[in-house]
Amino acid sequence: MIGLYKKRDVAIISAAATKCGEHWDKGIKDLAWEAGVKAVEEAGISGKDIEYLVVGNMSGGMFVGQEHIGALVADFLGLNPIPSLRVEGACASGGIAFFQGYMAVASGLYDIVAVGGVEKMTDVEQEQATTALSGAMDFEWEAYFGATFPGIYALMARRYMYEYGLKKETLAKVAVKNHYHGSMNSLAHFRNKINLEEALSAPMVADPLGKYDCCPISDGAALVILAPLEIARKYTDTPIIVKSSVMASDTLSLLKRRDICTLDATVNAAEKAFKLAHIERSQVNLIEVHDCFTIAEVLAIEDLGFAKKGEGWKMCDEEQTYVGGNLPVNTDGGLKASGHPVGATGVKQIVEIVKQLRGEVERGRQVKGAEVGLAHNVGGSGATAVVTILARG
């Protein structure tokens, strides 16, 4: 069935995001409006040109008491009466929104589609945010018995350490690298550099994961506009072609996984994405991966096929994943430093890849001559994964 749904080529004609962080002076409407207006203005279109809107949002109800997010964003952006859909797939909500928007254009159903993601997470106490996020795991068999996401990923990290010899120092290097990239990103939640000693001596969250191994709770929004490639050059001189966008799933709980050191959803999505794109991994110039915890970046490098199982940590240890290295990873700082507004993260990753392929990011973190980029968005501890491959047009 691979490729049967793809009827025409799709391109991104504009991409924009808000700064991630604690936006005490902005609500969910304000964040969506800011990203939306930037993207529309960049594309040189009006709201009347948009035919369909898909919005990723994980838990607007628990964070700000607002469900019906699709209608909310369409209303506030002045897009009525177009169809507007809110999609949810935990932390992969933004990636799924992009996947849905891509299919809508590829199928020929719509020409101009807006794909957004938004989350306002900091208006509640940390305990309430933790409860909301725990809905992304198997609540009955994991959260009910006290498991948290740091705890779940700590189990994965400990098993990986046992199996493959990973040291905590390497996880700390992942954090140091992402803070270094984030320090040059004007939209990042954290723009402070850290050193190895700071990362290693940080307070423990869930052994072996310390404070700097964990991503923050963030507010933010992002939006991209899609169009058929055949008309994309009417709107931009640098269309970014969507070579493929693939979604896959796995068991919700760790208990039923084949291997807790492997996210099979990522493996399956990546294999199909590369097959559809007709692109080899050696052609990829940079990747944005779902580093909700530092161990997740290591696993992603392997599950996406850029290293053999048990050897991805060596790329991090040898600092090959910096800008200028063999495979730059999370050039915006990743979830760790750039931030993780869960419903927006998948779209925010796409925005970073688009800006990199256009050569529009800040000096110091621009990947020279970038032609192909990959975005990897995960829901929960790996029950959902979306892999999207983009290329400069």
Q: Please state whether beta strands 84-87 and 52-56 pair in parallel, antiparallel, or not at all (unpaired).
A: parallel
Which residues 6+ apart lie within 8 Å of 48 measured at CB? none
DSSP 46-81: -GGG--EEEEE-S-HHHHHS---HHHHHHHHTT-TT
Helix, strand counts (H, E) of the chain: 14, 11
What type of residue sits at position 108?
Answer: G
Given 91, 214, 261, 292, which residue is catalytic? 91
Instruction: Report phi then psi at 84, rounded to 5.
Output: -135, 130
Instruction: Report phi then psi at 175, rounded to 5.
Output: -65, -45
Examine the residue annotation and report whether 340 is marked as an active-site residue of this protein: yes
CB 340 within 8 A of CB 349: no
End-to-end CA distance of the chain: 27
Examine the residue annotation and report whether 189 is marked as an active-site residue of this protein: no
Enter the tokens of residue 36: 């939306």
| Cα dihedral across residues 54, 36, 245, 229: positive or negative | positive
Which residues 6+ apart lie within 8 Å of 254 measured at CB? 142, 152, 155, 156, 260, 381
| Cα dihedral across residues 14, 349, 266, 55: positive or negative | negative
DSSP 241-261: EEEEEEEEE--SSGGG-S-TT
Given 23, 189, 340, 376, which residue is catalytic? 340
Catalytic residues: 91, 340
